[in-house]
Amino acid sequence: MRRFLLRRLAWFALTVWAVITISFVLMRSVPGGPLSSDRTLHPTVEAAVNARYHLDWPAWRQYLQTLGPLNLDEHGLLGDRSDVFGGILAFDLGPSLQHRDVSVNEIVAQSLPVSAALGVTALGWALLLGLTGGLVSALRPGTALDTGARVLSTLGLSLPNFVIASFLVLALAVALPIFPVAGWGTPAHLALPGFALGAPFAAYVARLFRAGLLETLSQDCIRTARAKGVPWRQVVLRHALPGALVPVISFLGPAAAGILTGSLVIERIFTIPGTGSHFVAGALNRDYALAMGVTLVYTVAVYALNVLVDLAYAVIDPRIELEKDA
Amino acid sequence: MSTAPRKGDWFGDATFERVAEQVAGESSPSLWADVRRRLAARASARWSLRWLLALVLASLIVPLLPLPSPAAMALDKQPKPPVAPWVEPFNERFEPYYGELNPLDRALVSVRQKVFGSKQTGPWLGTDAKGRDTLSRILWGSRTSLLVALFAALTSLSIGVAWGAVAGLARSRIDNAMMRTVDVLQSLPTIFLVIFLLSFLNAPSPGGAARSVSRETVFFLVIGAVSWLPMARVVRGQVLSLRHAAFVEAARTQGASTGWIVRAHLVPNVLPIVLVYLTLTLPSVILYEAFLSFLGLGVEAPKVSWGVLAADGAEAISPLATFWWLPLGPAIAMGATLLALGLVGDALRDALDMKRSEA
Q: Assess whether pLDDT exceeds 60 at residue B11.
A: no
Tell me the chain B residues in contact with residue A247 when contact means C-beta distances shorter than 8 Å.
Answer: 358
Do B178 and A5 meet the contact criterion of CB atoms below 8 Å apart?
no
Query: Which stretches does DSSP call E strand in B117-233?
Result: 120-121
CA distance B265 to A45: 70
Q: How confident is the model at residue B356 (pLDDT cuts 50, 70, 90)?
A: very low
CA distance A13 to A251: 23
CA distances to A26, B209, B287, B292, B318 from B201, in Å: 10, 12, 22, 14, 31
CA distances to A3, B137, B313 from B70, in Å: 59, 5, 15
pTM: 0.81
Contacts of B19 (CB under 8 A, 6+ apart): none
CA distance A288 to A279: 10
Cα-to-chain-centroid distance, residue B11: 53
CA distance A306 to A316: 15
Mutating which of A9, A19, A97, A163 best tests the B interface, going by the most B Cβ atoms within 10 A?
A163
A103 SS3 class: strand
CB atoms within 10 A of CB B12: 11
Query: What does the pLDDT look like over A11-70, one tens digit per residue?
Result: 888 888 888 888 778 777 665 555 555 566 677 877 777 776 777 777 777 787 777 766
Q: Does B183 touch chain A (CB under 8 A)?
A: yes
* Predicted local distance difference test score (pLDDT) of residue A133: 92
Q: Assess whether pLDDT exceeds 90 at residue A124.
A: yes
User: How many Cα atoms are found within 13 Å in the side-chain-facing hemisphere of B75?
Assistant: 0
Q: Does A279 touch chain B (CB under 8 A)?
A: yes
- Name the closest residue on chain B to residue A38, using Cα atoms: B206
* Predicted local distance difference test score (pLDDT) of residue B1: 43
Q: Does B212 touch chain A (CB under 8 A)?
A: no
CB contact residues (below 8 A), chain B span 267-296, against chain A: 283, 287, 290-291, 294-296
CB atoms within 10 A of CB B339: 20
Q: Angle at the Cα of A29 (from A23 to A34), degrees rounded to 5?
A: 80
Prediction ipTM score: 0.78
Q: Does B322 touch chain A (CB under 8 A)?
A: yes
Q: Which residues pair with A73 in a beta bridge?
A: A76
CA distance B126 to B330: 12
Q: Does A250 touch chain B (CB under 8 A)?
A: yes
CB contact under 8 A, B342 and A173: no
Contacts of A287 (CB under 8 A, 6+ apart): A34, A96, A97, A98, A99, A281
Tell me the chain B residues in contact with residue A181 when contact means C-beta distances shorter than 8 Å.
Answer: 318-319
Q: Which residue has the higher pLDDT, A325 or A227?
A: A227
Mutating which of B205, B213, B317 best tests the A interface, going by the most A Cβ atoms within 10 A?
B317
Query: What does the pLDDT look like over A205-242, one tens digit per residue?
Result: 998 898 888 888 888 888 898 899 889 888 888 888 88
Query: What does the pLDDT look like over B231-240, one tens digit per residue?
Result: 888 898 888 8
CB contact under 8 A, A163 and B307: no
Q: What integer best gives the mean pLDDT of chain B?
A: 80
* Predicted local distance difference test score (pLDDT) of residue B66: 85
Do A139 and A299 meet the contact criterion of CB atoms below 8 Å apart?
no
Name residue B46's amino acid.
R
CA distance B315 to A269: 8
Phi/psi of residue B121, each to 5°?
A: -70, 155
CB contact under 8 A, A159 and B313: no
